[in-house]
């Protein structure tokens, strides 16, 4: 089964590297033809994964029409760009197995990648690939375990996308896997802000724990299975993202907590996701205190100390 990876950023390139090391017929697509040509010539993605050699078996293209023969297409694009890309590219993608590799909720519509694909490409089979992973670890061949969420049997797709360093666990709960991957980014910003403001490790542990409870409540209310959030796509990803400076969301939180500017040129999916979660929860009358704190913090409507005061002044309750 041939595979195309759409998105030549760090994560898309890392997945393409791992797949090409394990199987033939892997193609990496990027929208910038000059960058794609340079990667093909130098066998390196100098912008995102410098120093890592791209496998000889990996092919490249900037022409979306050339991915038409691929039966499985991995969508490694920023979550906030996905809706527009699907609308413009549906003719090339509909009817294929589309594997979502981004994590987030579309800010304008308030829906996740699965629903976006169902709207733009109704004949496509949708899967979610998510879990605790950093692009550089995958590209370096370090062991990584991920969740593959797909309706029905996942065996063939699981075998297609498993590599020498990526181990896939399957689930049929696409919604739970999708929401876990999106919401943990919001909690990572909160944890980064706590550490950046000097509030300490105990405050981070509290935010991770209560943030995880918030994630589970919201996912369950939306129809996901709570046990999905306990796995790699929720709890596992939460641990990784809230504790490492390799995480863009965590480092964005560090900057906010320290009163520094947000990093330039880096996608921080937790920011629009926080706004989307607050909008969704307000419509449902559902309380999401940490997500709300992050949303107000990143828009400059409150300081870290104000957000902390709001959280600590909430009514006492049972755990």
The architecture in CATH of the region 3-172 reads 3-Layer(aba) Sandwich (3.40)
Q: Is the pTM of this model over 0.75?
A: yes
96, two tokens: 């294929």
- Is-contact 229 216, C-beta < 8 A? yes
Q: At what angle do helices 289-298 and 248-258 cross, to 10 degrees?
A: 70
Q: Catalytic: 184? A: yes
Q: 151-186 burial, b if ≥16 CB within 10 A, otherwise e? A: eeebeebbebbbbebbebbebebbbbbbbbbbbbbb
The full set of domain ranges for the chain reads 3-172, 181-312
pLDDT in tens, the chain (319 residues): 699 999 999 999 999 999 999 999 999 999 999 999 999 999 999 999 999 999 999 999 999 999 988 999 999 999 999 999 999 999 999 999 999 999 999 999 999 999 999 999 999 999 999 999 999 999 999 999 999 999 999 999 999 999 999 999 999 999 999 999 999 999 999 999 999 999 999 999 999 999 999 999 999 999 999 999 999 999 999 999 999 999 999 999 999 999 998 877 778 999 999 999 999 988 878 899 999 999 999 998 888 888 888 888 888 888 8
Provide the CATH topology of domain 181-312. Answer: 1.10.1040
Residues 46, 66, 96, 184: which is the catalytic one?
184
């Amino acid at each position: 089964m041939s595979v195309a990876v759409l998105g030549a950023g760090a994560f898309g390139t890392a997945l393409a590297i791992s797949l090409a090391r394990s199987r033939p017929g892997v193609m990496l697509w990027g929208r910038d033809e000059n960058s794609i040509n340079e990667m093909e010539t130098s066998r390196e993605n100098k912008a995102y994964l410098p120093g890592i050699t791209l496998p000889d078996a990996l092919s490249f293209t900037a022409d979306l029409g050339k991915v038409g023969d691929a039966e499985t297409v991995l969508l490694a694009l920023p979550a906030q760009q996905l809706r527009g890309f699907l609308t413009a590219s549906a003719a090339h993608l509909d009817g294929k197995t589309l594997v979502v590799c981004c994590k987030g909720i579309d800010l304008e519509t308030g829906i996740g990648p699965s629903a976006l694909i169902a709207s733009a490409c109704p004949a496509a089979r949708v899967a979610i690939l998510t879990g605790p992973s950093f692009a550089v670890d995958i590209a370096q061949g370090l062991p990584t375990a991920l969740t593959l969420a797909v309706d029905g049997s996942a065996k063939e797709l699981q075998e297609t996308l498993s590599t020498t360093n990526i181990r896939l666990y399957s689930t049929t709960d696409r919604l739970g896997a999708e929401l876990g991957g999106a919401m943990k980014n919001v909690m990572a910003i909160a944890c980064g802000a706590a550490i950046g403001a000097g509030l300490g490790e105990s405050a981070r542990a509290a935010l991770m724990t209560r943030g995880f409870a918030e994630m589970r409540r919201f996912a369950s209310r939306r129809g996901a299975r709570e046990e999905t959030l306990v796995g790699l796509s929720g709890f596992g990803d939460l641990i990784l993202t809230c504790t490492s400076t390799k995480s863009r969301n965590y480092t964005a939180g560090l900057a906010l907590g320290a009163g520094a500017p947000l990093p330039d040129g880096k996608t921080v999916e937790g920011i629009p996701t926080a706004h989307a979660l607050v909008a969704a929860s307000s419509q449902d009358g559902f309380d999401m205190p940490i997500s709300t704190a992050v949303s107000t913090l990143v828009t400059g409507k409150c300081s870290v100390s104000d957000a902390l005061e709001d959280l600590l002044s909430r009514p006492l309750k049972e755990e």
